Amino acid sequence: MAKPVVGIIMGSDSDLPVMSTAAEVLDEFDVDYELTVVSAHRTPQRLFKYSAEAAERGIQVIIAGAGGAAHLPGMVASVTELPVIGVPVKSRTLDGVDSLYSIVQMPPGVPVATVAINGAKNAGLLALQILGGTDYGLREKMRQYKKDLQHMVEEKAAQLEQ
Amino acid sequence: MAKPVVGIIMGSDSDLPVMSTAAEVLDEFDVDYELTVVSAHRTPQRLFKYSAEAAERGIQVIIAGAGGAAHLPGMVASVTELPVIGVPVKSRTLDGVDSLYSIVQMPPGVPVATVAINGAKNAGLLALQILGGTDYGLREKMRQYKKDLQHMVEEKAAQLEQ
Amino acid sequence: MAKPVVGIIMGSDSDLPVMSTAAEVLDEFDVDYELTVVSAHRTPQRLFKYSAEAAERGIQVIIAGAGGAAHLPGMVASVTELPVIGVPVKSRTLDGVDSLYSIVQMPPGVPVATVAINGAKNAGLLALQILGGTDYGLREKMRQYKKDLQHMVEEKAAQLEQ
Amino acid sequence: MAKPVVGIIMGSDSDLPVMSTAAEVLDEFDVDYELTVVSAHRTPQRLFKYSAEAAERGIQVIIAGAGGAAHLPGMVASVTELPVIGVPVKSRTLDGVDSLYSIVQMPPGVPVATVAINGAKNAGLLALQILGGTDYGLREKMRQYKKDLQHMVEEKAAQLEQ
Amino acid sequence: MAKPVVGIIMGSDSDLPVMSTAAEVLDEFDVDYELTVVSAHRTPQRLFKYSAEAAERGIQVIIAGAGGAAHLPGMVASVTELPVIGVPVKSRTLDGVDSLYSIVQMPPGVPVATVAINGAKNAGLLALQILGGTDYGLREKMRQYKKDLQHMVEEKAAQLEQ
Amino acid sequence: MAKPVVGIIMGSDSDLPVMSTAAEVLDEFDVDYELTVVSAHRTPQRLFKYSAEAAERGIQVIIAGAGGAAHLPGMVASVTELPVIGVPVKSRTLDGVDSLYSIVQMPPGVPVATVAINGAKNAGLLALQILGGTDYGLREKMRQYKKDLQHMVEEKAAQLEQ
Amino acid sequence: MAKPVVGIIMGSDSDLPVMSTAAEVLDEFDVDYELTVVSAHRTPQRLFKYSAEAAERGIQVIIAGAGGAAHLPGMVASVTELPVIGVPVKSRTLDGVDSLYSIVQMPPGVPVATVAINGAKNAGLLALQILGGTDYGLREKMRQYKKDLQHMVEEKAAQLEQ
Amino acid sequence: MAKPVVGIIMGSDSDLPVMSTAAEVLDEFDVDYELTVVSAHRTPQRLFKYSAEAAERGIQVIIAGAGGAAHLPGMVASVTELPVIGVPVKSRTLDGVDSLYSIVQMPPGVPVATVAINGAKNAGLLALQILGGTDYGLREKMRQYKKDLQHMVEEKAAQLEQ
């Protein structure tokens, strides 16, 4: 098996239905990733270890999803020097606003690249764009991906206009 | 100097004007405390060390204040088994709603006892109530404190009614 | 029957499905509690009596849950000198934001230890942490509880990584 | 001195600048009132006594203003059978939304007639409309008051149109 | 048929399931009312006529419910000198916050007595409290009603405590 | 003096600093307008008369600004068949959210063309775009206006790039 | 087939159930329109081309609906000098507040006439009102439409009053 | 002059005080950038041209800041295949919530890496982390930067503890 370059982690396995769309996008682009559960609140040591060792293991981007008081993305970003993408997972009681604020409102010095609530697919695409800085084949695939999106919309438009 | 039983920590020294009211209440009740800066995002190791060693050093309650994506109280609570009181500090752009949600919306298993936005004085009082479980002198003082509050209001009422 | 040390009260019996998770946690730790309905708005005298007599009856922590204009936790805290934990119950029309604000935004002098919306399980755990100040067996159990949480997450992680 | 028929109460004397506009309106209509401080959280006994005795003393409407976790109007309404008008006072950290939700979101069975945030003048006018049910002179004055408002706007319109 | 003293109006017949609880309370207290649809936006003339003639027809309190940009209660209050109770009806897209703000945030000079989102039952009770100013039998019934509420809660508490 | 084709109205003369920017834009395009105060809540008859007669007097578009429970734009739209542009004026306590919701959330059948909070300048431009349907000179001027905006930005960009 | 004068566009074909009500209103008034998909984010060139050529093709008003970070209406308005009506489509995670803010909060210089969340029917009516400036038959039909609305409400009122 | 690898753009020169902190961070790390004004709404062609040509000119990351209906970051991301970092600039009337939602809530297929409201400094740091994928010297500097942050906090902590 190839060495993963993207780490996808989530605070709870109940976040998997949302977070798996990030993995699907990476599969589509043939980029290797690892996927696991790391809970900021229940496994703080694991969080530290994962974040501290990710770069050495060859990980280049980390995607972290969490809901509610979503501390996982920000805490990972506090330990690693890798870019961290945060996915606010829709919460049971505040419609994901709590998740969004907890992830995006990071203090100066420690950024988290936040995407839309439940926007794990875009987290995957953003990871690919970041990797595209060193991998021009990937950047070319991204250009093609955007064209495909465009054609899909144009076809739907054509159907609707009939 | 006496051994502190309450730890007051904050994410940044800019939180001091808010958090010092917690210290003032503890002074008023002659309870020993320590006060320092621990940043979840800039000093994650320090956060871990502080949280892991607090109980051994004799700390019985931790008061943690932070603003924005306020991860400090929740992360401390993830490491220690002591009760943790969280103070959402009013933020520059979202009026403290981000701080409040980031602190109060903790997942099942890891509670943070959250007080009002900028409510550090109440954090101090809550710490005293918690300590009052083992210290009946303290509980008696708290009873007196509530009576004093009552008299203060009654005096103001009397003035207004004149 | 043993004398209860925790009082769990709620504004309406419709809050029971949420509030019973607090009781379950106390059962798990073998801590005795009482559980009843006290409505701030429909039984104000009962609220006063309950709050004024709780400490004398041996109660050491009160957990109060309510929704909407949730006045129960704050009013109990205004009468007793015991620590009061407030559980904002998700409301029918404002997703629990009204409950949360009504409970957490207490004025200086009268704290309520607020947990997440519908976070009654954490209210139970917080009560245990407070009782742990005088009961080192309880504190030890809490340390074990946190380890169990950690193992549960690690097992799920292992399954996901396969 | 005449016997007051309206009771104006507030949670703190810091609410006086807002609440005094209610008194001014009653002065304008020559309706007798009393004005004092009653804190739900610092003087709960006083709150009960005030609410329980108001009707006997001849009070016909109670105006209660409070900010933050604003429990005063709702708790007064829980004790008295008189109509209670609630004034949400603008709070320091949540712009009065917390005050508004804490006052208006009362459960079925215990209404509070809520006016706008800081809307104490309208609380005074509403009290007058309620008293107008038994006092036709008052109702006639209210009719005149509305005409005066209308003329004031028409004059400003005329000035602007020039 | 007796002459109605309360007018219950709503912006659309789709508000009937919410607003009928106001009528039920009035039925319970044997107070005569009328109930109809008046749309601020679709029947503005009807709104004016209704509001202008209500007092002459013997109506003493108007209860008006509406959702979204809920202008009905405020516009009725702008025309009549009677007390107007506003019921924010839960809206399809903003959970009733739009209805609440549109009704409660009235400018100085024109009050609307606002109750909770979907709080039509309390609107009925508030109308009864207002009518109680001239009808001591009604006030006595209200006292009894509050006692019944209290007993109901006490019975549920007794069941839960078993 | 030329016959006005745009009516600019506002709920209070305190809205003038915001609303005058609509007038300035119309002046710039040499389009005649009238400007006055019409209060939905203090002068409801005036509101009806103004709305009912506007079209006959040659008005083709109405711009209405109001704050808080901002009923003016919606009520004008309920009476006239002309297009009505609503300007939510920033309110003292809810930052204009109440004004925005009260204006934009109109029920099916009665549209209000809502612009940004305090966006009176855009209200003026929108009125010009609507008039441009019958006035091709105006449409040409609008095209030029957009080009001028573009050049202004390009000049600022050039300065910044130096 | 007649030349369309209204362009109805939407960001995704999933917006069709909402946006088709705009088309239905135009059908009812016998006004010709075109309806298609234009995605600001997936087909930016198409967006530019559509907006730049609409006026030349005889389009007089554009109705644009989108959800989430809803850029379509504002970007169309940035290119064309025609009036643009924006329909915020209810989003999956923030109840349409994100759509509303993204559409209505346009900067000075580029207005979008915003209607209610999911308010596509009103977008159609607003387009008709705008076209009514040059088409007095249309304006007359609008007058009749408002009368029909009124009668419908009056009938429902009559039924309810029975 | 060296060829810039980061493009910093903003919707208006009034955003410069916020956005210049991104430039300062890049200066500190000796990374070349360009800084200019591109308005989505006033210069749509310029937006397209800039976005389409950025990659060819050697730009590897784009930082885009905007306020209100902040379309700039999302529209740039719709055209380029480079990673785009969005900075929500605090708005005059909604405290930056509108800016945040307009930037972060992008639809699947077109990500924007969003940072905190006014968080331009973190946008700069995130750009550096992204560039660090190909530039290990940069990654090493980032590691040092995080250590410096840590020391700064520790020094402040030491001062406070004295």
- The torsion angle over the Cα atoms of residues F112, F118, F123 and F125, rounded to 10 degrees, is -150
Interface test with E, best of G149, G160, G161, G162 (most E CBs within 10 A): G160
Tell if the CB–CB gap between E46 and G150 is shorter than 8 Å: yes
The minimum CA-CA distance between H118 and chain F, rounded to whole Å, is 19
* pLDDT digit string (tens) for chain G, length 162 residues: 579 999 999 999 999 999 999 999 999 999 999 999 999 999 999 999 999 999 999 999 999 999 999 999 999 999 999 999 999 999 999 999 999 999 999 999 999 999 999 999 999 999 999 999 878 899 999 999 999 999 999 999 999 998
Neighbouring C-alpha atoms within 13 Å toward the C-beta of C16: 10
Whether D135 and chain B come into contact, CB under 8 Å, resolves to no
Q: What is the pLDDT of residue C133?
A: 83
Strand extents, DSSP E, E68-138: 84-89, 113-114
- What string of DSSP letters covers C110-154? ---EE--TT-HHHHHHHHHHHHTTT-HHHHHHHHHHHHHHHHHHH
Lateral strand order in the sheet of D33-37: D33-37, D6-10, D61-67, D84-89, D113-114, E113-114, E84-89, E61-67, E6-10, E33-37
SS3 assignment, position F110: coil
Phi and psi at A82, nearest 5°, equal -75, 155
Amino acid at D152: M
Do residues D116 and C80 touch, judged by C-beta distance below 8 A? no
* Reported confidence tier of residue F134, pLDDT bands at 50, 70, 90: confident
Q: How many CA atoms lie within 13 A of E139 on its CB side?
A: 15
Determine the residue among E5, E126, E131 to mutate to test chain D binding: the one whose Cβ has the most chain D Cβ atoms within 10 Å.
E126
- pLDDT number for residue E123: 98
Out of E96, E149, E160, name the one closest to residue C36 (CB).
E160
Counting Cα atoms < 13 Å in the Cβ hemisphere of B68 gives 25
Q: Calculate the average pLDDT of chain B.
A: 96
pLDDT tens digit sequence for E23-43 = 999 999 999 999 999 999 999
What pLDDT, on a 0 to 100 scale, did the predictor assign at position F136?
A: 85
Q: What is the pLDDT along chain H (162 residues), one digit of tens a residue?
A: 579 999 999 999 999 999 999 999 999 999 999 999 999 999 999 999 999 999 999 999 999 999 999 999 999 999 999 999 999 999 999 999 999 999 999 999 999 999 999 999 999 999 999 999 878 899 999 999 999 999 999 999 999 998
pLDDT digits (tens, 9 = 90+) for C20-66: 999 999 999 999 999 999 999 999 999 999 999 999 999 999 999 99
CB C88 within 8 A of CB C114: yes
Taking all residues of chain E, what is their mean pLDDT, rounded to a whole number?
Answer: 96
Cβ contact E152–C34 (<8 Å): no
pLDDT over 70 (residue D93): yes
pLDDT tens, residue by residue, A44-87? 999 999 999 999 999 999 999 999 999 999 999 999 999 999 99
Q: In this structure, what is the dihedral angle of CA atoms G38, G44, G48, G49, given to the nearest 10 degrees? A: -70
The predicted pLDDT at position H136 comes to 85
How confident is the model over D84-102, as a mean pLDDT? Answer: 96
Q: Which of the residues in chain C have pLDDT under 50?
A: none
Check if B116 contacts D (Cβ < 8 Å): yes
CB D123 within 8 A of CB D65: yes
Question: Do F110 and E42 touch, CB atoms closer than 8 A?
Answer: yes
Can you state the angle between helices B72-79 and B97-104, rounded to 10 degrees?
A: 10
* Contacts with D153 (C-beta within 8 Å, 6 or more apart), sequence order: F12, F37, F38, F39, F42, F43, F46
CA distance C13 to chain B (A): 22
Give all chains having 3 or more CB-to-CB distances under 8 Å with chain G.
Answer: A, E, F, H
Give the mean model confidence (pLDDT) for residues B65-90.
98
Q: Determine whether the interchain pair D156/F13 forms a contact, defined as Cβ–Cβ distance below 8 Å.
A: yes
CB–CB contact H133 A131 (8 Å): yes
Confidence of residue F2 (pLDDT cuts 50, 70, 90): confident
- pLDDT value of residue A1: 53
Complex prediction ipTM = 0.97
Encode pLDDT of A108-151 as tens digits.
Answer: 999 999 999 999 999 999 999 999 987 889 999 999 999 999 99
> Which pLDDT value is given to residue G133?
83
Judged against a pLDDT cut of 60, whether residue E1 lies above it is answered with no
H148 touches chain B (CB under 8 A): no
Which of H12, H46, H94 lies nearest to residue F154, judging by beta carbons? H46
Give the number of other Cβ atoms within 10 Å of residue E150's Cβ. Answer: 18
Residue E63's CB is within 10 A of a number of other CB atoms, namely 29
In the complex, which subunits touch C with 3 or more CB pairs below 8 angstroms?
A, B, D, E
Q: Which residues of A are less than 8 Å from G1 in CB distance?
A: none
Cβ contact, residue pair E68, F105, below 8 Å? yes
E2 has pLDDT over 80: no
Any residues with CB less than 8 A from the CB of H14 and at least 6 apart, and which? none
CA of B82 vs chain C CAs: smallest distance (Å): 6
The helix (run of H) or strand (run of E) holding residue E131 is helix E120-131
Q: Nearest-CA neighbor of C48 among B113, E145, D78?
A: D78
In this prediction, residue G42 carries a pLDDT of: 96
> Using CB atoms and an 8 Å cut-off, which of residues 35-54 of chain C contact chain E?
35-39, 42-43, 45-46
CA distance A95 to G90: 13
Any E CB within 8 A of C68 CB: yes
Residues D103-131 as b/e (b if ≥16 CB within 10 A, e otherwise) read: bbbbbbbbbbbbbbbbbbbbbbbbbbbbb
Dihedral angle sign, alpha carbons of residues C89, C91, C97, C101: negative
| 3+ Cβ–Cβ pairs closer than 8 Å linking F and C | no
Q: What is the pLDDT of residue B134?
A: 79
H5 to chain A: closest CA residue = A133
Q: What does each C-alpha distance from B159 to A131, B28, D20 come to in angstroms?
A: 70, 27, 15
Chain pair C-E, CB pairs under 8 angstroms: 45
Q: How many other C-beta atoms are found inside a 10 Å radius of the C-beta of residue H160?
A: 15
D19-74 pLDDT tens trace: 999 999 999 999 999 999 999 999 999 999 999 999 999 999 999 999 999 999 99
The predicted structure's pLDDT at residue A86: 98
How far is CA A156 from each of CA F143, G9, G24, rounded to the nearest angstrom?
A: 32, 12, 20
Which two tokens mark G141?
A: 């039909």
pLDDT at residue G22, as a whole number:
98
Under 8 Å CB-to-CB from B94, ≥6 apart: which residues? A101, A105, B68, H95, H96, H97, H117
- Residue E160 pLDDT > 80, yes or no? yes
Taking an 8 Å cut-off on Cβ atoms, the answer to whether D98 and C77 are in contact is no
Determine which of D95, D104, D106 to mutate to test the interface with E (most E C-beta atoms within 10 Å): D104
Contact of B133 with chain A, judged by CB distance below 8 Å, is answered with no
pLDDT per residue over B92-151, tens digit each?
999 999 999 999 999 999 999 999 999 999 999 999 999 998 788 999 999 999 999 999
User: Quick check: H108 contacting G, CB < 8 Å?
Assistant: no
First to last CA, chain D: 48
Using CB atoms, pick whichever of B152, B154, B159 lies closest to residue D46.
B154
pTM above 0.95, yes or no: yes
Q: CA of E10 to nearest chain G CA: how many angstroms apart?
A: 10
Q: Which of D95, D149, D160 sits opposite F95 (nearest CB)?
A: D95
- Judge whether E160 is closer than 8 Å to chain C, CB to CB: yes
Contact G161 E93 (CB under 8 A): no
Minimum-distance CB partner of E81 among D81, D121, D129: D129
User: How many CB atoms neighbour CB D48 within 10 A?
Assistant: 20
Q: Which of C102, C114, C117 to mutate to test the interface with D (most CBs of D within 10 A)?
A: C102
How far is the C-alpha of B124 from the C-alpha of B77, rounded, in Å? 17
Q: Which two tokens stand for residue A131?
A: 């990797």
Q: State how far residue B116 is from chain C, nearest Cα, in angstroms.
A: 4
pLDDT at B2: 76
* Interchain CB contact of H32 with B (< 8 Å): no
For residues E68 and F111, give the distance between their C-alpha atoms in angstroms, rounded to a whole number: 13
Q: How many CB atoms lie within 10 A of CB G136?
A: 9
Please compute the mean of the pLDDT values over residues F74-87 and round it to a whole number.
Answer: 98
How many whole angstroms separate alpha carbon C35 and alpha carbon E162? 10
Q: Give me the phi and psi of B35, to 5 degrees please.
A: -140, 125
What pLDDT score was predicted for residue C162?
A: 83
Give how far the C-alpha of residue B71 lies from the chain's centroid of Cα atoms, to the nearest Å: 15
- For E152, nearest residue in chain C (alpha carbons): C42
pLDDT for the residue F1: 53
The answer to whether B20 contacts chain H (CB < 8 Å) is no
Query: What percentage of chain E exceeds 90 in pLDDT?
Result: 94
- Residues F23-69 pLDDT 10s: 999 999 999 999 999 999 999 999 999 999 999 999 999 999 999 99
